[in-house]
Chain A
């Protein structure tokens, strides 16, 4: 089987990744703003007798890279020499996109032109004479819609045919004088046009030629070549694009009138964020309650009954009941919240609103010495810190990049939200306000960090702000669900591996040395008690708290599974009567009720998820309520918010900013978390002491 290496090249946000996902069935990240793909990614597809390797590259406007992601694309195209380039073009913006096409043609690599977004072009009254375009350039031209996948599969046979026939595009012809000099610079006869131009404009021995060109054109070679490229692109555009004038107004322009309004823009943004979180909570909470009940009243007794029937030993039964169902199962309860919040955040990412927030907020950001563009990675941080840190590759300067990387970990992610949503209901009458304040504290800490860094390590002035705003777009439901599924799968995977392992280890440590009666005398208890003095000033001198914080370094949700395991070991419940069939029926009914409640919540203007009923805190919540004061509960949440308690984040920081930076930041975040935790405890103790 032969392999064909196909690179997808094109301007940012033209649909390269969407195209690849359709071709190879991958789930690479797609989003409606420029700079979604920042690293080289790959997908494979078997076709006929070939294995086609599709290489997704970050978008570039020109082969003159500035930022790190642009360098990735540039290096791949110029040094790794793919077998074939799929040049993806946003048909509505063909004139702009053709500049890159011309630059790619200079590389003289076999190429196929993909005219994407034909649906939008049609709405805008833009028509392309594809045969003419194909004749002019000597490349095949295909039309696609990478949103729905229309026309995408038709690319495959063409890829194979072009690969086999080694069809080269027609040679570009620039103006006569330039071509003559380029001919003279030719030495082996094999050089590509790109190579010739590079030789001519940089090497000493061609100085004479450069001078002669300068005399003719009255500009530098660099300028001459650029102008030739623009002229060529413009010429092709004029020749192949037909525009019908339309009377209908562009819908994006109308929406922008409102959403980017100088006064209303920011209030609307705040409203949008409020709705995102309100819907996430209100819609998911009935399902969370249902899963909680399902595990407690059905899964757990059923499993124990089954284990009894098989006749396994007491130890196994306890591991299953306390570590797996108690610990891992507990974390599962939060799955609906994770799913719904990612659904909402993805909707934001696909709509095209995200880069507009950057545009709106730049007003405030630039006063703080931050670029509006850096807001995109910061906002992504609310979804997950790890890809957010990777996304800083789009920033043009190292200074901006490091500055933003030092801020991202303070953006509260859904993993933290899960912990907050659990703790806040235990201690506070208005949990929504508490959670909102925690998010705000995270943002403030990030700004403070940036401020201090800018006054000390990262002085220097601000780089220019340049960004493209895409049209508003709607994702297909299928795409949206696929994205949510990726996050859900990731959460399940972590529950099955990290969280599972952590729960079992904790359980073991709680039951060692063998025969230990009181968990506080176990190894886990001993470790917890040893480190608890560190957290005592925060009101967290309970060994159970400090113990659960240690494994939480892997991922924050583990704090919950560990706690659940610890308390499950402490309070071994007695068995109740259990009838599987009857219980299953009850579960079915309550699931239906959950659906009904979720949809009612959706249309309720006030947030309902956090209405705390008096005396309703039971189970783990009840136990924690008894063993912690509200002030120390708050301190615990503040600490967990600010301390970078996530292996994934530290690892990606290490990769992107270096080992020293990552470790120093970890220590810093611990100190900040501890300090603000202390502050929260002290202030909280004053308020709630009566």
Chain B
């Protein structure tokens, strides 16, 4: 399943991040990486608000398309 498809309130685990953009390295460093549990808090407009550990991260849908979760 893609991260983009899950619903607010759901908790999932990241399986894989694909894509080549530099920004991916940044979001990995922000905690979005393989094996981490994340929860989707809110979807507003083109963005997703995620909770990873104790931090909250906003990413746009285009990036979420590249994130495979379970």
Interface pick from A198-206, A329-337, A465-473, A533-541: A465-473
The docked-state distance in angstroms from the alpha carbon of A463 to that of B52 is 23
Query: A470 CA to B58 CA in the complex, in Å?
Result: 11
Q: List 8 A-B contacts (CB under 8 A).
A: A64-B22, A66-B26, A93-B53, A95-B31, A253-B41, A262-B42, A363-B44, A464-B21
Knowing A124-B54, A465-B58 are in contact, say whether A230-B33 is a contact too (CB < 8 A).
Answer: yes
Contact at B59–A465, with CB atoms within 8 Å?
yes
Within B34-55, which residues are at the interface with A (CB < 8 Å)? 41-47, 49, 51-55
User: Does A396 sit at the interface, judged by CB under 8 A?
Assistant: yes
Residue interface mask B1-37, A partner, CB < 8 A = 1: 0000000000000000000011101111111010000
Contacts of A262 in B (CB 8 A): 42-44
A363 to B61, CA, bound (A): 12
Find out whether the CB atom of A466 lies under 8 angstroms from the CB atom of B53.
no
In A224-259, the 8 Å CB interface with B consists of 226, 230, 252-253, 256
Could you tell me the distance in whole angstroms from the C-beta of A258 to the nearest C-beta in chain B? 11
Number of residues on chain B facing chain A (CB within 8 A):
31
CB distance from A529 to the nearest CB of B (A): 54
Chain A residues near B49: list those with CB within 8 A: 256, 260, 359, 469
The reply to whether A466 and B41 contact each other, CB–CB distance below 8 Å, is no
A265–B43 CA distance with the chains assembled, in angstroms? 12
- The answer to whether A468 and B26 touch (CB under 8 A), given A253-B41, A360-B44, A362-B47, is no
Per-residue contact bits, chain A 450-473, to B (CB 8 Å; 1 contact, 0 not): 000000000000011111111100
Residues of chain B lying within 8 A (CB to CB) of residue A363: 44-46
10 nearest A-B pairs in the assembled complex, by CB-CB distance: A363-B45, A62-B29, A61-B29, A92-B54, A465-B60, A469-B56, A96-B31, A467-B58, A93-B55, A464-B23
A-B contact count (CB 8 A): 103
Whether A64 pairs with B41 at a CB distance below 8 angstroms is: no
Please encode chain A, from 421 to 450, with 1 for each CB lying within 8 Å of some chain B CB and 0 for all others: 000000000000000000000000000000
Q: How far is the CA of A468 from the CA of B59 in the complex (A)?
A: 9
Q: Which residue of the partner chain B has the closest CB to A463?
A: B23
* Number of A interface residues in the complex (CB < 8 A): 36
- Is there an interface contact between A468 and B54, defined as CB atoms closer than 8 Å? no
Bound Cα distance A93, B54 (Å): 6
Q: Is the CB of B45 within 8 A of A366?
A: yes
Task: Tell yes or no: A519 within 8 A of B by CB.
Answer: no
Within 8 A of B (CB), among A34-82: 61-62, 64, 66
Report whether A265 and B44 are in contact in the complex, using a CB–CB cutoff of 8 Å.
yes
* B46/A96 in contact, CB under 8 A: no
Residue of A nearest to B62 (CB): A464
Q: Is the CB of B31 within 8 A of A466?
A: no
A358 to chain B, nearest CB (A): 8
Please indicate the chain A residues that have their CB under 8 angstroms from the CB of B51 in the complex: 253
Distance from A544 Cβ to chain B, minimum over Cβ atoms (Å): 49
Q: How far is the CB of A125 from chain B (nearest CB, A)?
A: 10
B30 touches A466 (CB 8 A): yes
Bound-complex Cα distance A546 to B57 (A): 51
A484 within 8 A of B: no
Q: B29 touching A260 by the CB < 8 A rule?
A: no
Pick the contact of B60: A100, A126, A464, A468 (CB < 8 A). A464
